Each structure stands twice: as C-alpha cells, then as structure tokens.
Chains A and B, each alone.
Chain A
C-alpha cells in the first residue's frame, strides 16, 4: 500500500449531492471495471448517473445492461471472477430477486460492492424506506455497512472496495443507505481528488482469477465430503473483517480526518438509557438525546454501522454499564421472539452477569415518518418498563392502533 497523506483542503471539492449521486461519484473515482445493474427505485440515480459518466467517456467502465437483478448479480460474479473491480446497486424486490446469487457471490469470495437503497418489501407495494430487504439478506455472507448521511455513503463506498478486496477478507460488501431519506436528500459532500482515491485503493490484486492460460474451475460441486469445510473457511473470513475494517478506516482517516467506526457512540459514557439504532434514525436519536440531556435525562445513542459481522465486543463494551438499551429498528421479523437488531443485541448480552434491559421498538415501516416524538415515546416507555422491571419483547411505534 502506498503511503497515505492528508489531503489539503484546497484539493477537496465540495458539492451538494444526494446519497445516490454521492455513491455514483464514489464508483467513478474507484475506477470500477464493470457495472451490471437493473434499475429499481430508489437506487436508480446511482446507475443513471454512472451511465452518464460512462457515456461521456469519464470512466473506462464496461456497463452491462441486463434484464433482471438476478442477471445483474450473476454478471458481476462473472466479471469479478476474472479479477475486475465490480459494483452494482439495487433495492427491495431487486435484492430479493438477487437472493440466490447473493449466496454465490459471498461463497465464491467475490469482492463485489453492492449498494442497497433500503426499501420496504411487498405487499402492499411500497417504494419507501425500511430495512426489510437488507435484513433479510443478513445471512447471505455479505458484509453489511449502514450509512447515516451522504458524506458517509461516499466515504463508505470507497472504503468498501478496500475492505472487500483485502486478501484476508475477499467477501462482498453491502453498503446500505435509507431509500429516499438518504438516497434522494441533497447534502454537503466533500469529495476527494481522483488521484487520492486511486492511490488509496490501488489496483485490485485477485487471488485466483479466471485466466485461459491457467485454467481453473470455480463454484463446483461439494457435497457431504467438503461443503462443511468450505463454510468453515467462509465463516473465518467474515470474522477477520473487524481487524481489516479498523486498518482501512485508519488509513482513510489519515487522508480525510473522517472515520466512523463499527459503532459510533454519542454521549453514552454516563448514560442510563442508550438508544441503539443505525442509518438515518440515528441522526434523529442524537437530536432527541441532546434535548433530553438538557432536561437532565441521562441518555446516549449508539449507532451501529456494521451489522454483519455483528461487532459484539464493541457493542457490549459501550452499553454494558447502562440500565437499559432501547432498540429502534425498521423491520419486522414475523413470528420471531423479537426483531433482527434486538435479537442480535439480546444474544450479545446473554453472557453478561448483569445486563441492561433491552426494549425493542419497530418504527417507520414502509417509509412511515420517524419524528423525534417517536424516539421520545420509545425512551419514555423504556423508562417506564425500567421502573416496573419488566418489558414486552417488542412493540411497534407510530402505527395507528
């Protein structure tokens, strides 16, 4: 890796970009070789913008137009297998159509970067934001990173390639942004010079690429004799992610001064109640925490950036002293004990002798607005349950009932 230096302020370009546009610009600077994608709201702008770059000759990328998301991911795997740097983007039903191939991408160890503009799944058909799509794909073997704003979406996309292509990892990364709330919201984005991104990422060094001169077989049959061993390999690979992620962030921080961490803690040190969430509700939660702090409430926010692999150690470290943790999540896991984020958290806390109470609030399904009052509502309920010493496994907030 070449030495990374701090980029001087006059070299940084500042623009007002939507989350989608920020990611399209990041893809452009990452100099990807192949992009295969099928349009689906609210991801469309990423590919539209990128196709404009390609049409104008600003990038050397081969843009493959395909007839479905299933083919988009398949084409990405084929391209990645030859050693190319590959990206695609999708959402909701598109991600669902990719399902089968997501597992291939992860199990074949293809470092593809996939942007998901989180959107609800049908029925009824809905184009707005919740996390049902990417939460459903949480066991596919993809690394999952969730972004809170356009700047972070831009930064994370660049870091995602470095993380994915690291030889200790070699796994695809899902970079998730909240559909419309972030994908279509214009924000101030500081963009790095092209050269800086280029030297930060370098050229992808494939480990076992497809090459006619040195033929090999990828994705063959492995039955009872070896399948389990390959899954063990894959499991070890994803557990190597936190260390590599820290290194990647460290290098990125040297260059930009920005870093996010696998978890971001906000006023949690002395907090009695910690609000745990990720993506855009985390911004709302921080504002709520500020206001409640002014009223003398001891409250903090823990924002999860990485959901897969789940950063157990970091999360437990930040919340174990609290009396309660209120989880806010935009997904229902029908028939489960509680919902994905809270399930994960409760399991992470299980081994502690004294653990904080966990309350689980399902919010904002199908793009239902999450105003500060919803978060306050959850906070007040948590306080009430804490006093009673008993909380329901989960409940929904912001629904007419």
Chain B
C-alpha cells in the first residue's frame, strides 16, 4: 500500500473485483472475543448460533469437526465490535483487551 500516484489505476477505479478479502480489518481491533465452551449452546447441542448470525464481518464460523460442534474466529477480519458478546443469550463470550 505505498504506490506512487502514477502506479495506481485512474480515478480510484478498482480493476479487480472481489478484492475486499484482501482488506484485512483485524488490525483495528482493541478487544478480542473469548469463548466459554462450557455454557455455549452451540458447543453443548448445536443450537443458538446467534453470534454467527450477527457477526457483521463473517469472522465467527460455527463448524462441525470430527462429529463435534466447534467454532473458530477469523482474527484477520474480526474488528472486535463486540456484537457477538452482546447477542449471546448465555453470556458465553467475553471481550478481552488485545
């Protein structure tokens, strides 16, 4: 991200579609979500999923691995907005300082 004025496309045009994945927003984060596995409904019985629904950056993925419910955070895109923690009905997500 340090091209000179004559190295960049004309008029701010973005010539390559779908390049938003390269725009990593994780660097903005001051607070990081941390999961409590024991009270998480998804981990318990594969229900709820509100954090996954509400995450504006698709940075929480609720997945099944080896027949067990689990999850992962994509910290490249998690801005630490805290919406997941706010929505969690069992308060299983806590925001911690980076």
Contact = CB atoms under 8 A, between A and B. Distances in A.
Physical interaction between A and B: yes
Interface of A: 107-109, 170, 207-208, 215-220, 222, 225-226, 229-230, 232-234, 236
Query: Chain A CB within 10 Å — which of B5, B6, B12 has the most?
Result: B12
Given A208-B13, A217-B14, A220-B12, 17 more contacts: A107-B11, A107-B12, A109-B11, A170-B10, A208-B10, A215-B17, A220-B13, A220-B14, A225-B1, A226-B8, A229-B3, A229-B4, A229-B5, A230-B8, A230-B12, A232-B5, A233-B8
Interface of A is mostly: loop
A232 B13 CA distance: 15
A219 B12 CA distance: 6
Interface of B: 1, 3-6, 8-17
Query: Chain A CB within 10 Å — which of B6, B8, B11, B15 has the most?
Result: B11
A222 B10 contact: no
A392 to B, nearest CB: 42
Contacts of A229: 3-5, 8
A225 B27 CA distance: 15
Nearest to B6: A233
Contacts of A215: 17
Contacts of B16: 216
The 5 closest A-B pairs by CB, nearest first: A217-B14, A229-B5, A232-B5, A215-B17, A109-B11
Interface of B is mostly: loop
Contact of B15 (A108, A109, A208): A208
Nearest to A228: B5
A236 B3 CA distance: 17
Nearest to B4: A229
Query: Chain B CB within 10 Å — which of A207, A208, A217, A226 has the most?
Result: A217
A160 to B, nearest CB: 20
B15 A218 contact: no
A226 B85 CA distance: 35
23 contacts: A107-B11, A107-B12, A108-B11, A108-B12, A109-B11, A207-B10, A208-B9, A208-B13, A215-B17, A216-B16, A216-B17, A217-B13, A218-B11, A218-B12, A220-B14, A226-B8, A229-B4, A229-B8, A230-B11, A232-B5, A233-B8, A234-B11, A236-B5
B15 A216 contact: yes
A217 B17 contact: yes
A222 B12 contact: yes
A229 B1 CA distance: 12
B14 A216 contact: yes
Contacts of A230: 5, 8, 11-12
Nearest to B7: A229
Contacts of B10: 109, 170, 207-208, 233
Nearest to A218: B13
A232 to B, nearest CB: 4
A280 B37 CA distance: 81
Contacts of B17: 215-217
A29 B82 CA distance: 61
Contacts of A107: 11-12
B20 to A, nearest CB: 10
Nearest to B11: A109
Contacts of A208: 9-10, 13, 15
